[in-house]
Structure 1
Amino acid sequence: MAHSLESLVIRHTHRLSSPKGSAGEGVTAARQFDAALTSVGFKLSAELLARLSGLSEAAVVHTAKRTLHSVSEMVGDHVRHNSYFIDFPANVPDTEEFWMRCVTQALGDDKSRENVLTQLAHGVLDLLSLPTYGRYQHTYEEMLAAQDELIASAGDRVTVLHLGRDLDDELTDLYLALAGSTTPLGEDHLRDLKTLAERCALGPQPESIPVRENRAVVNEARLGVGADLLLDTVTDVLRLACALSGGDVMLQEPTRFRALSRPVRRGLLAGLDAVVAANPAKLADVHAHREPFKRLGERLHPHEYPRWPHAADVFAVARGEKEARSFDSRVEKLLDAFDVLGAVQLLKSAPGKLFRALDLLLRIAADQEERDAVVAAAVEVAPEVSGRVVLSVREHLHNRERETDEPRIFVNRRGRAWVTPDVRPPVPAADRDRLIAALDAEMRRRLPAPGRLLLDPDILDVALPLSGRATAAGLGVLPRGSVSTVDGEQLRFFVYWKETENRTDYDLSALLLHADYSTDSWLSYTSLTAVGGEHSGDVTEAPDGASEFVNLSLDRVRSAFIVPQVNIYAGEGFEEVEESFFGFMLRDGEQKGRPFEPRTVRMKSELRGVGRVALPLVFRREDDGRWRAKWLHLYLKGISSANRVEENQVSVSKVVRALVEREQLTVWYLIDLMSRDTTAVDLWDGGPVPDEPVMYIGLERPEGLHPDSRIITLENLRDLIPG
């Protein structure tokens, strides 16, 4: 367990909890450890190297083994990446030539000849029936022997591991950061919070837990140790019940409630009773989740506990036996009557809902007087609205300002994306501008005065992480909408998957688009070579794990966009396989090396979405000829089987266009607000850092920062979002 907790700290903070062990002469072992880390793109900070050098050799080796396993998993090097074509990207055959080779080999095989001849007579051939198609024809070791060694390059990725505090302190800090996050966490981070909460439920707690899903996870742990529950709505209790049943605390997917013990039932009913007794109007919240509440009532048996009558009222409302007029229905009635002033007055008591309705209210307002009332109400309640909602509305208004014919894109909490034509009338410019100015002023009021800011310029175009669900778990992953530069001559995508029990075939492809988003060409198992690129070959099953690669020489690609995608052709979905992840590598032209080289990996992200087509990011050629990536983290529904790049190119193009053309609020927006008037701003160029405390914001933490500095990197970027 200790190892998994240490690994959790490394993944989230890039810190190694203070190594334990007897003092000794560990200098040689520490340098060997540092060299081994270099092979997977990591290194020890000078401070951490010095600490390890003062320990015994045995202590260093013990630490090295555990750490190397953790960082190898972070970058995707914990599995064997074989390629179908043994010397990929060299000697990849023409597609039809390769298929004919497979047919010829099948006709020379006594077991398969008759079946293949029958298929050919009917004019349709199933590639999967060919013995050599889709299955590795060589071992991993044979593939390694056929490849040249990687030539080290100054451009290879180097991720520094820093010295942390004692493990208990690191875990407590991480628990407080995740539990107290002002933005929702992704599913992987929620799982990590659950692990931490079970350990930290009786220790220090954050001042507040504003995100409801986080509260449910913490409440589950608190219930287990007999601590008071943190409840202020009936929905908090429903989320807790979902957590106890291993269900979805986001309430997006139905939960099958388990049989609950009497103490747990009493805890949930007492919590419901206390919430409603303190504010009977909270009963109206039941309407939003009537069916789950009805199912929960069947498990809790409230009739057996007459001392908690208010809890029984919750389930009576869910069954329609007791009336509790919902807030949303009252608002809806006013909007249906176009009573904008009445709706605004009511919505002022729910500031978050008012903000989410601003666009609609401004569009249906009858005259300037009503629009003035909408803007005035928004300004009045803005201090009570969460920072992420203020920023979301600010971003929305910015995109409404851009008069275009671009479609609207919708993305749900699970990353499923779809687009529709935008038929909304515009928001009046003057009112929109007044709101934007007011929201900017509100954010400026909330942001800290950092004193001296030290900035890594590469973080300026990173989108604000208004939700952890807009970012996949992994290494070097940026929030949806972020833009990052691509420095390298060879761009190589990879996907790895391992099926759980059914034959599973994932297909890595790359769609190449013109500047107007129309299709230029593609690389896939049906098109193994195209201008500037090669596909590593189709692997159609993964009982022991399988990998596919697409390699592109960027100076030879003539398209404007490169869209990597992972299609589920057959078998288990992204959330059903034992493991699946995507990433990309960058290499200089002469580096050679194996198909997968961990030190060249720039990004590796888990594939965990509900669609059958994954779109991790898109690469765009800029006017100066350089390439930049825009991060998507999207999933398309696709079809139940046989998803192919040829069939989904139109839907992929629409979604890519909608998100590429949308402008996100970036880190630069907050820095611009923060740095006005009083703050000194320095750009970090990779050299020495100031001796004094600074607020550092960047992709990676530099070495040598003053211990009193505040450090914001990708791992805790959500901390930039004010509460």
Structure 2
Amino acid sequence: MSSSIVTVREATAARPRSLAAVLLERRDAVYLPAAVADPAGERGAALIEADLADRGYLVAPALRAAFAALDARALGSVGRALLHDIDRALGADRPHEPLLRDFPDSTPHDTYGHYVERVLSVLFQRPEQPCVLCGTVDSVVPVAPCAHLVCGACFDGADFSACPVCERRIDPADPFLRPRRPRRTLSGRGGPPQRLRLLTYGGDFADSQADAARELDVLLARTGALSPQDADDLDALLDARSRDDLGRLPTTVPGRESKARLVTWLLAEPAALPDTLPVVAGLVNTATDVLRVLVLRSGGDAGLVEIPRFAPVARPLRRALLSVLDALDPGQAAQDMRRHRRAWIHAAELLHPFEHTDRFPRAALAFAVLRGTRLGDDRLSAALRAAAATVDGIDADGPAVTARGWGGQVEAALADGELATALTLLERRPGELVRRLDHLMRLAAAGDDKDGPAAVVAAVERTVARVAPAVVLSALGAIRTRTRDHTVRVFFPKGASAKAHVTDDHRDALPHALVRPVVDVLTGEILRRAGRAAPVATAVVDATLDGVIAPFAERTASRALVTLPRGSELAVPDGRTLRLFLHWMESADSGRTDLDLSAAMFDADWRHIGVCDYTRLRFATAAAVHSGDLQDAPPPLGASEFVDLDLDRLDAAGVRYVVAVVYSYNNVPFGDLAEAFAGLMLRDGPGNAGPVFEPRSVEQRFDLTGSNRACVPLVLDMQARTMRWLDVVKGVTGTQHAVWRHADALATLAHRLTELFASGARVGLGELAVWQSAARASTVVVRHTDGSRSAYRRRDDEDVAAFAARIGSPDTDGTNTDTGTYEPGARPELAYLLRGDIEAADGGEVLALHPLRLDASRVRLLAAADMVTALAP
């Protein structure tokens, strides 16, 4: 198989969110002003409660009482702000008017015939003559501003929202556009949304500051790179914080990019530098930390994928940064600088390290190593020689300053097959050792040294306790599947627009005797770290979490309504219609932009069998129906497109997989638009019953951002009735993009990613939940997908590893298929759930992808990333 490249969505800046919006999203909490003497009462509270219910949100009793205690003016102001924040998260803050307003009923059955009618209108339609299509007299009129001649008898002005010929927006006052017909109302609204959430009363505005500080602590404790949404929240929480109280800030921040954001905020106020600089000095421990700060304050990304031209550095900040660099080991700092050599040479032009050699000699020495500074008899050379004399690993006795490179030594050892030498070097950097574990195991398996495999296992045992949890989890998933032969490999390289690289796998499978001990060491380390948390009596684990992947590559995740780790698979409720939606609005920079929402259909062998897009508005009559192709999106209305998917009819038509795709037809990057987002609704009503966009039915909404032109958010499995969240973008070139042009590439992409995530090569959230429950709880209750429960109690002779391995097996300590009568530990202190449909103990910890009625004021709601953070070394 030839290689194929797909691109994961680039993270770009989003519209700033208020502190209230951040806490609403993160804590489901609403903060209100003090009660007044003339309250609005129950009527006012009922009105806002009804508005929230229409959006899929419940109101806790305490919050309802707080609403009723406000006067009408304050309640109106608070209510408008709250509904605006919620609508923005759902995508309901924008108008959604598709080309065909009676969609799906009015969608043409013959797309080609509809196209021919439009072409004939352009070529032969004439003013003041009968219509060339139907012969009707006095029915042909021009529409503004495109001036196409449109027949009102052939094209229904109450159905079309744009010109039927060119499918671009026209003047809303144009006579052709008649008032749209009311859509049929739903006889019933079905069950509650899957993503139902309970809003709680957070207190007054002073309480919001305390909660903001707690959320800031949570984000700063994360061990890996934050998702774009979490990074935005971190910036908002920092902006709302005062620099007067620095004592509450953590002394260490494990996430490098999070640390850079904190340090940049600390250094942003020159007047506060005397107070903030000691805090910064305690946080920064690598030269790359300083480079991230320079990039962030220049408008760049903390991941250092694309480094912009640096902004000028004022003298006080210049001295502050040099003082931080001077406190580092020059040899190590020089090695860090070599990773981004060009950027550091540019930074040297701003920091002027050689002008301050007397004050910051170690910083100057690191820059001298980077630049290979020639030595002579001048004052600078003397200062560099004196500084090098106090540092190991740097040589200033020759004609230039040099340093021995650790990375080069490692690469040479691996290339020469010198396993012992490579292990000795890599043990200095445990994270790098675990990242290269597969290479080391292949050397051990292929070498003549019979002690090689044992040496690899021993090196892992000695170093794994110091490795970041995301690295341990990634290595565990990759290594445990290496006893099987694989045809392809999938990589997710780091990047602002990270790539999922699919290529042939030419590696031989590793022997089970080598893989098993390494897997045991890595799993044992996870269990050991999980056991450091406070013990609990009872934990509950949903078996449905087995399809959810533990977070990875979060820095490229989409900003979304529901945070779902990439690769996760969830069940789709039976008897529901899925409605995909897309909305975009052009900006001055983008010009005319045509985005297209599409669905590609494949059989069980990933053979392409059809599409539903602008080239074919219907697939299998009504199995998939498109709302029509809007070809521009001028403000303020923008443009919206929809695709209805009837899973039963698709299955009957021989479709196994449906891949959802958004293309930029004329190749305008998503990031150039004023806004662009897409999502998914679950519909109960048939045809055009109910509004075309109903906020209550929105299950997922995500932004389209960055320099990308094609997005592949999800794949649906008709047979299994599941949705797998891919959250990737596909590299495309040229213009006139359409699904059929990319069918083979889409099949390769979706097939290989589905295969990867189903193979066990990525640790699942369900596994992580079982491990953490086994390490902390004496009783673990597993809730199976059929509604039954199984209880597992840790036995006297059972260690944590054995207990974890038994959870989920038939060897239980009690089962019950009656979901209403058996729940060991009525209020568990620890729960890992798909939906928050149980009552947890006060102060308990609960992960729920859909919190439902969980009260964030009573329990600590966990995010998937918090489960990884809990395993920090």
Q: State the TM-score, normalized to the length of structure 2.
A: 0.76
What pairs with 1:102-117 in structure 2 (closer than 5 Å)? Answer: 102-106=118-122, 107-108=124-125
- Give the aligned partner of residue 713 of structure 2: 616
What pairs with 1:653-692 in structure 2 (closer than 5 Å)? Answer: 653-663=747-757, 664-676=762-774, 678-682=777-781, 692=827
Larger Rg: 2
Report the Cα distance in structure 1 between the residues aligned to 2:422 and 2:180, rounded to whole angstroms: 68
- Give the aligned partner of residue 153 of structure 2: none
1:709 to 844, 847, 854: 844
Residues 1:702 and 1:130: Cα distance change in structure 2 (over 3 Å) = closer
What pairs with 1:430-579 in structure 2 (closer than 5 Å)? Answer: 430-447=513-530, 448=533, 449-469=535-555, 471-487=557-573, 488-501=575-588, 502-531=591-620, 532-544=623-635, 545-557=638-650, 558-579=654-675
Report the Cα distance in structure 1 between the residues aligned to 2:148 and 2:66, rounded to whole angstroms: 65
Residues 1:164 and 1:640: Cα distance change in structure 2 (over 3 Å) = farther
1:417 aligns to 2:500 (yes or no): yes
1:330 aligns to 2:413 (yes or no): no
Instruction: Confirm or deny: 8 A CA contact 2:492 2:498 kept in the other structure.
Output: no
**What amino acid does structure 2 have at the position aligned with 1:454?**
V
Instruction: Confirm or deny: 8 A CA contact 2:487 2:506 kept in the other structure.
Output: no
Report the Cα distance in structure 2 between the residues aligned to 1:412 and 1:615, rounded to whole angstroms: 19
Instruction: Confirm or deny: 8 A CA contact 1:612 1:643 kept in the other structure.
Output: no
Deviation, structure 1 residue 340: 0.8
What pairs with 1:13-52 in structure 2 (closer than 5 Å)? Answer: 13-17=27-31, 20-22=34-36, 24=39, 26-52=41-67
- Give the aligned partner of residue 148 of structure 1: 184
Report the Cα distance in structure 1 between the residues aligned to 2:438 and 2:839, rounded to whole angstroms: 47
Report the Cα distance in structure 1 between the residues aligned to 2:200 and 2:31, rounded to whole angstroms: 9
1:637 aligns to 2:731 (yes or no): yes
Residues 1:424 and 1:143: Cα distance change in structure 2 (over 3 Å) = farther
1:594 to 672, 681, 691: 691
Residues 1:691 and 1:362: Cα distance change in structure 2 (over 3 Å) = closer
Query: Secondary structure of 1:474's partner?
Result: coil
Of residues 415-424 and 464-473 in structure 1, the stretch that sits farther from structure 2 once superposed is 464-473
1:580 aligns to 2:703 (yes or no): no
Deviation, structure 1 residue 188: 3.0
Residues 1:468 and 1:494: Cα distance change in structure 2 (over 3 Å) = same
Residues 1:563 and 1:420: Cα distance change in structure 2 (over 3 Å) = same
Instruction: Confirm or deny: 8 A CA contact 1:181 1:211 kept in the other structure.
Output: yes
Report the Cα distance in structure 2 between the residues aligned to 1:102 and 1:444, rounded to whole angstroms: 65
Report the Cα distance in structure 2 between the residues aligned to 1:673 and 1:334, rounded to whole angstroms: 36
Deviation, structure 1 residue 144: 6.0
Deviations 1:95-125 (A, max 9, x none): 112112222333325589x9999xxxxxxxx
Residues 1:697 and 1:163: Cα distance change in structure 2 (over 3 Å) = farther
Instruction: Confirm or deny: 8 A CA contact 1:410 1:419 kept in the other structure.
Output: no
Report the Cα distance in structure 2 between the residues aligned to 1:598 and 1:436, rounded to whole angstroms: 46
CA RMSD of aligned residues (A): 2.9
Deviation, structure 1 residue 286: 1.3
**What amino acid does structure 2 have at the position aligned with 1:325?**
R
- Give the aligned partner of residue 297 of structure 1: 348
Residues 1:595 and 1:457: Cα distance change in structure 2 (over 3 Å) = farther
**What amino acid does structure 2 have at the position aligned with 1:471?**
A
Query: Secondary structure of 1:594's partner?
Result: coil
Deviation, structure 1 residue 54: 3.7
Residues 1:645 and 1:411: Cα distance change in structure 2 (over 3 Å) = farther
- Give the aligned partner of residue 73 of structure 1: 88
Of residues 54-63 and 698-707 in structure 1, the stretch that sits farther from structure 2 once superposed is 698-707
Which segments of 5 or more consecutive residues in structure 1 lack a partner in the other structure? 118-128
Report the Cα distance in structure 1 between the residues aligned to 2:452 and 2:481, rounded to whole angstroms: 23
Instruction: Confirm or deny: 8 A CA contact 2:661 2:710 kept in the other structure.
Output: yes
Report the Cα distance in structure 1 between the residues aligned to 2:405 and 2:742, rounded to whole angstroms: 42
Deviation, structure 1 residue 620: 1.1
Of residues 555-564 and 297-306 in structure 1, the stretch that sits farther from structure 2 once superposed is 297-306
Deviation, structure 1 residue 238: 0.4
Deviation, structure 1 residue 683: 5.9
Deviations 1:332-364 (A, max 9, x none): 111121111100011011000000111011112
- Give the aligned partner of residue 195 of structure 1: 236
Deviation, structure 1 residue 716: 2.0
Instruction: Confirm or deny: 8 A CA contact 2:541 2:833 kept in the other structure.
Output: yes
**What amino acid does structure 2 have at the position aligned with 1:645?**
V
Query: Secondary structure of 1:221's partner?
Result: helix
Deviations 1:142-186 (A, max 9, x none): 686442234411143432222335210121111111121122112
**What amino acid does structure 2 have at the position aligned with 1:576?**
D
Deviation, structure 1 residue 301: 2.0
Instruction: Confirm or deny: 8 A CA contact 2:773 2:830 kept in the other structure.
Output: no
- Give the aligned partner of residue 183 of structure 1: 224
Query: Secondary structure of 2:451's partner?
Result: helix
What pairs with 1:318-357 in structure 2 (closer than 5 Å)? Answer: 318-321=370-373, 322-357=401-436
Deviation, structure 1 residue 712: 2.6
Deviation, structure 1 residue 236: 0.6
Deviations 1:640-692 (A, max 9, x none): 42222111111111111111011331121122223338432346789999775
Query: Secondary structure of 1:174's partner?
Result: helix
Of residues 503-512 and 195-204 in structure 1, the stretch that sits farther from structure 2 once superposed is 195-204
Report the Cα distance in structure 2 between the residues aligned to 1:313 and 1:511, rounded to whole angstroms: 58
- Give the aligned partner of residue 237 of structure 1: 290
Instruction: Confirm or deny: 8 A CA contact 1:610 1:637 kept in the other structure.
Output: no
Of residues 454-463 and 538-547 in structure 1, the stretch that sits farther from structure 2 once superposed is 454-463
Of residues 399-408 and 598-607 in structure 1, the stretch that sits farther from structure 2 once superposed is 399-408
Query: Secondary structure of 1:451's partner?
Result: strand
Instruction: Confirm or deny: 8 A CA contact 1:86 1:138 kept in the other structure.
Output: no
Report the Cα distance in structure 2 between the residues aligned to 1:47 and 1:454, rounded to whole angstroms: 27
2:833 to 669, 691, 698: 698
- Give the aligned partner of residue 468 of structure 2: 386
Instruction: Confirm or deny: 8 A CA contact 2:578 2:683 kept in the other structure.
Output: yes
Instruction: Confirm or deny: 8 A CA contact 1:82 1:143 kept in the other structure.
Output: no
1:280 to 331, 338, 341: 331
Count of aligned pairs between the two proteins: 706
Instruction: Confirm or deny: 8 A CA contact 1:409 1:655 kept in the other structure.
Output: no
Residues 1:693 and 1:667: Cα distance change in structure 2 (over 3 Å) = same
1:372 aligns to 2:454 (yes or no): yes
1:206 to 250, 258, 274: 250
Report the Cα distance in structure 2 between the residues aligned to 1:489 and 1:332, rounded to whole angstroms: 55
Query: Secondary structure of 2:670's partner?
Result: coil
Of residues 585-594 and 696-705 in structure 1, the stretch that sits farther from structure 2 once superposed is 696-705
Report the Cα distance in structure 1 between the residues aligned to 2:284 and 2:513, rounded to whole angstroms: 41
Residues 1:79 and 1:456: Cα distance change in structure 2 (over 3 Å) = farther
Residues 1:130 and 1:180: Cα distance change in structure 2 (over 3 Å) = same
Instruction: Confirm or deny: 8 A CA contact 2:598 2:612 kept in the other structure.
Output: yes
Report the Cα distance in structure 2 between the residues aligned to 1:421 and 1:328, rounded to whole angstroms: 27
1:135 aligns to 2:217 (yes or no): no
Of residues 209-218 and 35-44 in structure 1, the stretch that sits farther from structure 2 once superposed is 35-44
- Give the aligned partner of residue 359 of structure 1: 438
Of residues 209-218 and 301-310 in structure 1, the stretch that sits farther from structure 2 once superposed is 301-310
Deviation, structure 1 residue 572: 3.0
Deviations 1:375-408 (A, max 9, x none): 1101211111111111011111133244332443
Q: State the TM-score, normalized to the length of structure 1.
A: 0.91
Report the Cα distance in structure 2 between the residues aligned to 1:583 and 1:185, rounded to whole angstroms: 22
Instruction: Confirm or deny: 8 A CA contact 2:19 2:240 kept in the other structure.
Output: no
Residues 1:85 and 1:465: Cα distance change in structure 2 (over 3 Å) = same
Q: Percent same amino acid among aligned pairs? A: 29
Residues 1:2 and 1:16: Cα distance change in structure 2 (over 3 Å) = farther
Query: Secondary structure of 2:648's partner?
Result: coil
What pairs with 1:92-103 in structure 2 (closer than 5 Å)? Answer: 92-93=107-108, 94-103=110-119
Instruction: Confirm or deny: 8 A CA contact 1:182 1:719 kept in the other structure.
Output: no
**What amino acid does structure 2 have at the position aligned with 1:194?**
D
Residues 1:181 and 1:342: Cα distance change in structure 2 (over 3 Å) = same
Query: Secondary structure of 2:540's partner?
Result: strand
Residues 1:3 and 1:221: Cα distance change in structure 2 (over 3 Å) = closer
Deviation, structure 1 residue 51: 3.3
